[in-house]
C-alpha cells in the first residue's frame, strides 16, 4: 500500500496539473487527508474547494473535473476502486482490495526497516536529562530521559546521524551546597539540627556519601574516578567525591532506564577553558551590551525578549544563561547546525536569552547561526499516584520520587511507555496501580499483549513459514481491511512524529494498532481449515507483530512473546 499511495499521490499531482489554472497560479501540493468516518472512504481530497475561486467554478464542478483527470491516470486505474464526490466538493477515494493487501508484503519484506528512511547525512545533537549531580534522578528527569531518548530514536529512523549529549552542571552554587551538605554530615549534623544549613540537601543519600567518604572508598563514573581521603576538613575533596558519587548513581539510574549517552559535557570546562569569559568579551565587542547599576547587561530586546537581561551581576558573578550561550556556541562550532534541548518548562525564560546571545554573536562575527537556534522541547513535571494517593516524598531522594522508585514499583517498559504517552507540555499523573494492571485498562499491557497474542497464534500455526508466498487476495474481511490500513499509516506517522519532535504520536499509534488487531482477533478465526486463508491471515498477523515491534523499539519498550492477564477482554467475552 505504501507504493500504491506514492503512485496515487503522483497521479493526483499530474491531475492537478491538468486543470486550466490562471497563468501564474501554481497547483496545490498533492495530499491526501484521512476521512473522519471510515464509511467515507480511505483517503479524502479537498483540493477542489481551494481551487474554486481561482477557476471561478463551483467546488463540485472543480471536483468533477479533477475526478475525470484522475480516472485517466494508470495508478488510479490500478489501485482505486471508486472516486466519489461528496458534500461541497470533497473527493472520497476508496482503495482496491489489492492496494490494501500490498502492505502485508511490504512489511514482511522490509522487516525492522519498515518505516525507516536511508541515511540523510543530517547531523543532529539532542541534549537531554542534563541533571545537576546533586541527587538521584527524580521522575521529572525520567520524563526528560524518555522524551529525549525517543526523539533520538525518531530522528535516527528518518536517516539522521544523532549525538546524545548530557550536560553536567558541575559548577556553581548548587555544587558548593552539595559539598557543604556532605561536610555537615561528616561533622555529625543532620537535617533538623540547629547547625544544619537552610540551603543544604536533606536526602538520605547525603549520609551515604559521607559514610563512603569516611571509609576512603573510590567511586567511578563515566569520565572520572575519585578516591576519598576521609579528611572532613577538605571541602574541595568532599565536593569532588560527592559529584563523582552522584554521577555514578545517575549512571546506574540511566542504565536501569535503558538510556545511553554518546558524550558528556562538563559545565566546569567552560570556565576552566576560558570559554565563558571569551564569550562575554565577544558579546561586549558586538556592541549589544551595556553597563548599568554596576552590572553588565545584554540587549536581548533586540532579539524578541520582553526585557534586557543581566549577564554579569554587580558582584562579578555571571547569571546562569551566560555559560549556556558559551555552551551552545561550542555546539555550533562542533558542526551541529541543528540542536534540540529537552528541558522542563521552568527553563522557558532561558530560551529567548540564549538565542539572543547567539544571534548577537552570529550577526557581529558572521557565524551563520540559524535564527531560532537551538530548538527546545519543554515538558511539564509529573505527579505520581500510588494506592489512590499522591506520593509526595522519597526518603532516598529527599525531595521527590526517583526514577528507580518507579521502575522498582512497576517495570522499565511501563515507566517508559507512560512517560511518553502524553504531549510533553501537558500535565501528567503516573498511576502506579494502573501500570501494574494486567488488563486492557493499562495501555502498555494492551499493546504488548497484542504482540504476545500474535506470537501465540503464529506458534500454534507452526511459525512464520512460507508467509512471503501467501495469497493475500483472500484478506477481504472488514477487520482485515481496517488493520491493513492502520499498518500502512506507520511510515508517514513516523516521519511526521520525527518532524514535530512528538514521540507521543508513536504511543497513540500503537494503541490504535493494538485496538485494530484486538478487534480482528475477536471477529475472525485464524487456524482455519482453508490452508490459503490460514496462511494469508498468518502473514497479516506477522506483519502486524513486526510493526508493533518496530514502533515499540522507537519508544525503547520491549515486545514480549508471552504474557499473562487477569481476565478475558470484553470483546472475547462477547465473542
Using one digit for the tens of pLDDT, what is the confidence trace for 519-573?
A: 999 999 999 999 999 999 999 999 999 999 999 999 999 999 999 776 444 444 3
Length of the chain: 575
pLDDT at 40: 83
Task: For residue 280, count other CB atoms closer than 10 A to its CB.
Answer: 21
CATH homologous superfamily for the domain 437-574: Isoleucyl-tRNA Synthetase; Domain 1 (1.10.730.10)
In angstroms, the CA 299 to CA 145 distance is 34
In angstroms, the CA 502 to CA 205 distance is 35
pLDDT at 399: 62
* CATH tag, 2-95: 3.30.1360.70
Kindly tell me the burial class for residue 201, based on how many C-beta atoms sit within 10 Å of its own C-beta (0-12, 13-18, 19 or more). Answer: buried
CATH 3.30.1360.70 domain range(s) in the chain: 2-95
Grid cell digits, residue 171? 559548577
In angstroms, the CA 400 to CA 396 distance is 9
In angstroms, the CA 511 to CA 450 distance is 10
List beta partners, residue 295.
292
Grid cell digits, residue 278? 571569551
Find the helix packing angle between 478-488 and 97-110, rounded to 10°.
50
Could you give the strand order of the β-sheet that contains 428-431, starting from the edge strand earlier in sequence?
A: 389-390, 382-386, 428-431
Task: Give DSSP secondary structure letters for 236-249.
Answer: HHHHHHHHHHHHHH
Nearest to 333 by CA among 284, 384, 265: 265
pLDDT at 571: 44
In angstroms, the CA 300 to CA 313 distance is 16
List beta partners, residue 377.
342
pLDDT tens digits, 250-297: 999 999 999 999 999 999 999 999 999 999 999 999 999 999 999 999
pLDDT tens digits, 7-22: 999 999 999 999 998 8
pLDDT at 567: 47
What does DSSP say about strands 338-344 and 123-127: parallel, antiparallel, or unpaired? Answer: parallel
Q: Which of 254-258, 271-275, 398-402, 431-435 shows the lowest mean pLDDT across its residues?
A: 398-402
Q: Which of 22-26, 131-135, 323-327, 346-350 shows the lowest mean pLDDT across its residues?
A: 22-26
Q: What angle do CA 148, 222, 185 make, to 5 degrees?
A: 100
In angstroms, the CA 523 to CA 476 distance is 13
Residues 6 or more apart whose CB falls under 8 angstroms from that of 54 comprise: 21, 22, 25
In angstroms, the CA 506 to CA 19 distance is 38
Spatial contact of 106 and 2, defined as CB atoms under 8 Å apart: yes
Can you say whether the dihedral through the CA atoms of 192, 197, 200, 205 is positive or negative? negative
CATH 3.40.50.620 domain range(s) in the chain: 124-169+266-377
* 124-169+266-377 CATH pick, 3.40.50.10680, 3.30.1490.20, 3.40.50.620, 3.40.50.300: 3.40.50.620
In angstroms, the CA 557 to CA 256 distance is 13
Grid cell digits, residue 47? 483540493
Spatial contact of 501 and 151, defined as CB atoms under 8 Å apart: yes
Residues 6 or more apart whose CB falls under 8 angstroms from that of 295 comprise: 310, 311, 312, 313, 314
Question: Between these two residues, 208 and 400, which has the higher pLDDT value?
Answer: 208
What does DSSP say about strands 43-45 and 90-95: parallel, antiparallel, or unpaired? Answer: antiparallel
Q: What percent of the chain lies above the pLDDT cut of 70? A: 97
In angstroms, the CA 24 to CA 561 distance is 58
In angstroms, the CA 44 to CA 36 distance is 9
- Show the DSSP H helices in 158-191 as ranges: 173-186
Grid cell digits, residue 12? 493526483
pLDDT grade for 465, boundaries at 50, 70 and 90: confident
Grid cell digits, residue 132? 545537576
Nearest to 115 by CA among 560, 548, 559, 561: 548
The pTM assigned to this predicted structure is 0.90
Residues 6 or more apart whose CB falls under 8 angstroms from that of 128 comprise: 144, 145, 147, 148, 149, 151, 164, 165, 166, 341, 342
Amino acid at each position: 500500500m505504501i507504493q500504491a499511495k506514492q503512485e496515487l499521490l503522483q497521479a493526483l499531482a499530474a491531475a492537478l496539473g491538468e486543470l486550466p489554472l490562471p497563468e501564474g497560479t501554481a497547483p496545490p501540493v498533492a495530499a491526501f487527508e484521512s476521512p473522519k468516518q471510515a464509511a467515507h472512504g480511505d483517503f479524502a481530497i479537498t483540493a477542489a474547494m481551494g481551487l474554486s475561486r481561482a477557476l471561478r467554478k463551483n467546488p463540485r464542478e472543480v471536483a468533477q473535473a479533477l475526478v475525470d483527470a484522475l480516472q485517466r491516470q494508470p495508478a488510479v486505474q490500478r489501485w482505486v476502486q471508486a472516486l466519489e464526490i461528496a458534500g461541497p466538493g470533497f473527493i472520497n477515494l476508496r482503495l482496491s482490495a489489492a492496494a490494501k493487501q500490498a502492505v502485508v508484503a511490504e512489511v514482511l519484506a522490509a522487516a525492522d526497516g519498515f518505516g525507516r528512511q536511508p541515511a540523510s547525512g543530517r547531523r543532529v545533537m539532542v541534549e537531554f536529562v542534563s541533571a545537576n549531580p546533586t541527587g538521584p534522578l527524580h521522575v521529572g528527569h525520567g520524563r526528560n530521559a524518555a522524551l529525549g531518548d525517543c526523539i533520538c530514536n525518531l530522528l535516527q529512523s528518518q536517516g539522521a546521524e544523532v549525538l546524545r549529549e548530557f550536560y553536567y552542571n558541575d559548577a556553581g552554587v548548587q555544587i558548593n551546597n552539595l559539598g557543604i551538605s556532605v561536610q555537615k554530615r561528616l561533622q555529625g549534623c543532620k537535617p533538623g539540627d540547629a547547625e544544619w544549613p537552610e540551603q543544604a540537601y536533606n536526602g538520605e543519600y547525603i549520609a551515604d556519601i559521607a559514610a563512603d567518604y569516611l571509609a576512603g572508598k573510590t567511586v567511578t563514573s563515566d569520565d572520572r574516578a575519585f578516591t576519598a581521603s576521609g579528611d572532613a576538613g577538605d571541602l574541595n575533596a568532599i565536593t569532588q567525591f560527592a559529584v563523582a558519587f552522584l554521577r555514578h548513581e545517575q549512571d546506574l539510574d540511566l542504565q536501569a532506564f535503558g538510556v545511553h549517552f554518546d558524550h558528556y559535557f562538563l559545565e566546569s570546562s567552560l570556565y576552566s577553558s576560558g570559554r565563558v569569559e571569551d564569550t562575554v568579551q565577544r558579546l561586549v565587542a558586538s556592541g549589544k551590551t551595556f553597563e548599568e547599576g554596576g552590572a553588565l547587561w545584554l540587549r536581548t530586546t533586540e532579539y524578541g525578549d520582553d526585557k534586557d537581561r543581566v549577564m554579569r551581576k554587580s558582584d562579578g558573578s555571571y547569571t546562569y544563561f551566560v555559560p549556556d550561550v558559551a555552551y551552545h556556541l561550542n555546539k555550533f562550532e562542533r558542526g551541529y547546525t541543528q540542536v534540540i534541548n529537552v528541558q522542563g518548562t521552568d527553563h522557558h525564560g532561558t530560551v529567548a536569552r540564549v538565542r539572543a546571545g547567539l544571534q548577537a554573536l552570529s550577526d557581529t562575527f558572521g557565524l551563520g547561526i540559524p535564527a531560532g537556534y537551538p530548538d527546545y522541547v519543554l515538558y511539564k513535571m509529573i505527579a505520581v499516584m500510588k494506592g489512590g494517593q499522591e506520593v509526595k516524598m522519597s526518603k532516598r531522594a529527599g525531595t521527590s520520587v526517583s526514577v528507580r522508585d518507579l521502575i522498582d514499583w512497576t517495570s522499565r517498559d511501563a515507566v517508559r511507555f507512560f512517560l511518553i504517552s502524553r504531549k510533553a507540555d501537558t500535565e501528567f499523573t503516573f498511576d502506579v496501580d494502573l501500570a501494574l494492571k494486567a488488563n486492557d485498562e493499562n495501555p502498555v499491557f494492551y499493546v504488548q499483549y497484542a504482540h504476545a497474542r500474535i506470537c501465540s497464534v503464529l506458534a500454534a500455526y507452526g511459525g512464520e513459514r512460507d508467509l512471503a508466498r501467501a495469497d493475500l487476495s483472500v484478506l477481504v474481511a472488514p477487520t482485515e481491511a481496517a488493520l491493513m490500513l492502520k499498518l500502512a499509516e506507520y511510515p508517514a506517522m513516523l516521519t511526521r512524529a520525527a518532524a514535530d519532535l512528538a514521540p507521543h504520536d508513536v504511543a497513540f499509534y500503537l494503541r490504535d494498532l493494538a485496538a485494530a488487531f484486538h478487534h480482528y482477533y475477536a471477529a475472525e478465526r485464524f487456524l482455519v481449515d482453508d490452508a490459503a486463508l490460514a496462511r494469508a491471515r498468518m502473514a497479516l498477523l506477522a506483519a502486524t507483530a513486526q510493526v508493533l515491534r518496530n514502533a515499540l523499539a522507537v519508544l525503547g519498550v520491549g515486545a514480549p512473546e508471552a504474557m499473562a492477564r487477569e481476565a478475558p477482554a470484553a470483546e472475547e467475552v462477547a465473542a
